[in-house]
Amino acid sequence: MHKSRLAGFIIDCQTMDLAGAADFWGAALGMQQRQLPSDEADRYVHLVDPLARLNIEVQTVTHPSRVQLDIETDVVSDTAPLNGLVADLLGQVAGSGGGGVRALRDATRGGVATILNEIARAAGVGILVTEDDIPVRDEVRGASELLGIDPMYVACEGRLVAVVDGQDADRALGALRAHPLGEQAAIIGRVTAEPPGIVQLKTAFGGTRIVDMLVGDPLPRIC
């Protein structure tokens, strides 16, 4: 069973008055203070969660004030080289005779949603994907829900998006799943004539919504 939970947070305060900052946040959160060992006491003050669920500390820093979330999860990094996976795909589905592989992209900056939008706009076609067919691990979904982000926009260092001719789709899927990095590969949608340049998502609730390009900066990559 996977786990994704908020374990605590550190409140960074840009101040030299650690005691004053701890008094403020302790009063604001309704929590008592607990002093830490001497080697940490000059930088941190621990706030005691009355329900003993979260580890909360106030920290004095020189950078702008912010809050750092501490999330416990068993998410395993997906960072991996894709050259072997791509070689196996191209070996089974060549791009000749008008069929085969039409496009390949790694799902990094902006995630799958942004990659699909770039492909749709460049080719002047529509793309329709089905939410339930997109492979998202439970632990990733759980962490995304905690952070309030859409996994469709999260960079995936060891994943790719392949656009192949419809007649070659099953063969391409078989080639991907035969490789250790492609065991969870799935056909998530299809190319449509209309509306050009637009990506649409069939939701788990049966509706359809537009999936736009990433708005704002993507999450920082950690790799």
Q: Is residue 215 in a domain?
A: no
Q: Are residues 206 and 113 in the same domain?
A: yes
Provide DSSP, 203-222.
Answer: -TTS-EEE--PPPSPPPPP-
Q: Are residues 134 and 190 in the same domain?
A: yes
Q: Which two tokens stand for residue 113?
A: 């949603």
pLDDT mean over 145-170 = 85
Q: Are residues 23 and 90 in the same domain?
A: no
pLDDT mean over 95-100 = 62
Q: Is 120's pLDDT higher than 80?
A: yes
How many angstroms from the chain centroid is the CA of residue 209?
20
Q: Is residue 219 in a domain?
A: no
pLDDT of residue 128: 96
CA pseudo-torsion sign 31, 32, 34, 40: positive
pLDDT of residue 79: 82
Q: Is 196's pLDDT higher than 70?
A: yes
Residue for token pair 């899927």: 173
Q: Is 137's pLDDT higher than 50?
A: yes
pTM of the model: 0.69
Q: Is residue 55 in a domain?
A: yes
Q: Is residue 220 in a domain?
A: no
Q: Grade residue 222 by pLDDT with cuts at 50, 70 and 90.
A: very low
Q: Grade residue 223 by pLDDT with cuts at 50, 70 and 90.
A: very low
Q: Are residues 94 and 22 in the same domain?
A: no
pLDDT of 47-81, one tens digit each? 888 877 778 889 898 998 888 877 666 667 778 88
To which H or E segment does residue 166 belong? Answer: none
Share of the chain above pLDDT 70, in %: 89
Q: Is 143's pLDDT higher than 80?
A: no
Give me the number of domains the chain comprises: 2
- Closest C-alpha among 77, 14, 20, 9 to residue 49: 9
pLDDT mean over 28-57 = 84
Which of 49, 73, 97 terminates a domain? The answer is: 73
For the chain, the residue count is 223
Query: What's the CATH number where 116 sits?
Result: 3.90.650.10
Q: Which of 113-117, 136-140, 184-188, 207-211 has the lowest mean pLDDT?
A: 136-140
pLDDT of residue 95: 60
Residue for token pair 């969870």: 184
Domain span at 93:
83-210
pLDDT of residue 29: 87
Q: Are residues 148 and 100 in the same domain?
A: yes
